[in-house]
Structure 1
Amino acid sequence: MHIVIMGCGRVGSKLAHILEDKGHSVAIIDQSPEAFRRLRGGFKGRRITGFGFDRDVLVEAGIEHASAFVAVSSGDNSNVISARVARETFGIDNVVARIYDSRRAEVYQRLGIPTVATVRWTADQMLRRLLPEGAEPLWRDPTGQVVLAELHVDSGWIGEKVTAIEEAAGTRVAFLSRMGEALVPTADTVIQDGDIVNVMAHTGDMQRINEAVSRRVERSE
C-alpha cells in the first residue's frame, strides 16, 4: 500500500518509519528540505519539497495511486486543505488530518474528514490518569452523541459478574482492560481487582451510568 504523508516533523517522520517497517511504500512532503533530516539514513521512501495542498506536489508524491493520505504538519489550515484536496480532487477515501483546535476538529469530523485533535487528546489522557472519575471519553462519534468511556467502578463490584454491572447501569460493557490487555466479556466474566470497565453509550446517559457503578453493591450471602 502506498501512503502519502504531509509534514516531516516528529510525528510525520515517526509514521513514515513505522509504515515503511510494515512493508508499505511512503512519500513524505514538507516545505522545508531541512525537515527530512529527521528521516533515518536507510529510509527508502520519496522526499518531496513543497506544500501538501499543491496538486503537482501531490502527484509527484504518488497520490494518484495512493491508498491513504495523512496531514500532520504544524498548521491546522494546511492539514485540512491538504486532506480535502486528497479526498475531493484525487478521490482518496482514507485521509486523516491532525488538528490542534478541538472545535475545528469536531466540524471537520462532521464533514467526513477524520481528525486527531492532539492538544485535546493529550489533555484527556492526562485527565484520565489524574481524575479517573468523570474524565473525558476515550472516543466520541462525529455527532457527539455516542461515546466510548472508562468507568470508575467501586471496589464492591470486584467478584461480581459483568452482567450485574450491565443490569445496574442499564448499558452494555464493550470491553475490559485487564493487565494491559483488552478482554471482551462473556456472560460468565467476573470483575477482577484492577480491571478497567469500558462502555459504549449515549452521551446523555453517562452521568446516570457513572452514578450507578460508583456505588458499592450489596452482595447476597
Structure 2
Amino acid sequence: MVAYFIRPGDDVDLHVAWITDRSPHGHRQRPGTVPTATARIADRRPPPVHVIIGGCGRVGAQLADQLSREEHDVVIIDADPEAFDRIGSAFNGETLIGNIIDQQTLERAGIVAADVLAAVTNLDNANLMAVQIARELFDVKNTIARLFNPQREDSYRKMGVTYVSGTRLVARAIMKQLDIYTFPPHVGFAEGEIDIVELVVTQKGHGMTVGELQNRGGLRIAAIERDGRTRIPAGKDRLLHDDLLVAAVRGGRPGRKARGLLGTPAATRRV
C-alpha cells in the first residue's frame, strides 16, 4: 500500500467514472476508475497578508517571527543592520535597512500592496508618522503604532490611530489588534489579560457539558448560538458540533486541555 499526504492547495486527480453493472437485478451504475477531473483541496486557513514591520527591536523581531511562522509575507525595516540578528533562524521574510518614515524605503518594502503596517520602534514620533504616511499616502487600511508615552493616548485616539502601549505581551496584543491572531477578541479588559471571544465547538467537543468544557479549558461560556437562536447556558447543558460560543478567556485563548475541542468560526464552520 502506498500512502499519499494531501496538503491544502494541492491539485488532485479524481478517478471517477460510471460503468454499467449488468447484474441479474438489472442495469445499475457503479464507480469506475477513469480519471475525469482535477480538484483542489480547499485551504481553510486565512489567506496570507503582506505585513510591513517598522523596528526590529525585541517586539518587532518577535512579531516578525510569529507572522512568518503563520506563512504571512513579512518585511521588517530597521536602520541598524545588526538589529536583524534578533530574528529567529526560521524567519523566511525580508529584512530591509532603512527608515520607516522614508517614503522610498516604504515603497521598497512593498507598501503599495501592503495589508498591514505595524510601527514598533522605540520612538513614538516615528511610529505615529509611519502610520500616518501609510494611511494617507498609500491607503493602508490596517495600521498600528506602539506607544511609549501614555500621556499621548488622547491625541492618538482623536487622530483615530490604533495603538498598543506598555511593555507586557506587546507582540501578542498587536497580533490581536491586527485581527490575525488565533482567536480574535471582541472585547478586552483587565489590562488585556481577559478577552471575550467567539469559539466554535469541533467534532471532538461534541457531547461535552458546558461545565466540563469550562473546567477543562479555563474559560467561562456566556452564550451559545445554535440553529439561529442564542441562549445563556447552564453547566449541565451539552454542547453540539458547530455550536457558536461567546466566552471569556484569559490571554486570548482557551487552556491547553481544550486544544482540539474548540476552533475559530472561520476555520471550523461548515460551508
TM category, shorter: 0.5 to 0.7
* Contact kept in structure 2, 1:139 and 1:149, CA below 8 Å: no
Q: CA deviation at 1:188?
A: 4.2
Deviation at 1:101, TM superposition (A): 1.1
The alignment status of 1:89 with 2:137, answered yes or no, reads yes
Structure number with bigger Rg: 2
Distance (Å, rounded) in 2 between the aligned partners of 1:30 and 1:64: 19
SS state of the match for residue 138, structure 2? Answer: coil
**Normalization by structure 2: what TM-score?**
0.48
Q: Structure 1 pair 106/25, CA: closer, same or farther in 2 (3 Å)? A: same
Matching residue of 1:68: 116
Q: Does 1:184 align with 2:243?
A: no
TM-superposition CA deviations, 1:163-198 (whole Å, max 9, x none): xxxxxxxxxxxxxx87532522343446xxxxx989
- Structure 2 CA distance for partners of 1:183 and 1:52, relative to 1, 3 Å: same
Residue in 2 that maps onto 1:112: 160
Structure 1: gaps spanning 5 or more residues: 123-136, 141-147, 151-176, 191-195, 199-221
Give aligned pairs, total. 148
Structure 2 Cα separation of the partners of residues 97 and 47 of structure 1: 19
CA distance in 1, matches of 2:88, 2:169: 28
Taking structure 1 as the reference length, what is the TM-score of the superposition? Answer: 0.58
Q: Deviations over 1:20-55 (max 9, x none)?
A: 111101000011111000112232211111110100
SS at match of 1:36: helix
Superposition deviation, residue 16 in structure 1:
0.6
Distance 1:19 1:43 in 2: 9
After the TM superposition, which segments of 4 or more aligned residues of structure 1 sit over 4 Å from their partners? 119-122
Instruction: Decide whether the 8 Å contact of 1:12 with 1:72 is kept in 2.
Output: yes
3-state secondary structure, aligned to 2:65: helix
Q: Deviations over 1:106-144 (max 9, x none)?
A: 32122111001115999xxxxxxxxxxxxxx5379xxxx
Contact 1:3–1:67 (CA<8 Å) still a contact in 2?
Answer: yes
Query: Are 1:138 and 2:138 an aligned pair?
Result: no
Does structure 2 conserve the Cα–Cα contact (< 8 Å) formed by 1:69 and 1:94? yes
Q: Secondary structure at the match of 1:18?
A: helix
Q: Unpaired segments of 5 or more residues in structure 2?
A: 1-48, 171-188, 197-213, 224-230, 236-246, 250-271
Contact 2:51 2:75 survives alignment (8 Å): yes
Distance in 1 of aligned mates of 2:78 and 2:115: 19
RMSD between aligned residues: 3.1
Secondary structure of the 2:77 match is strand
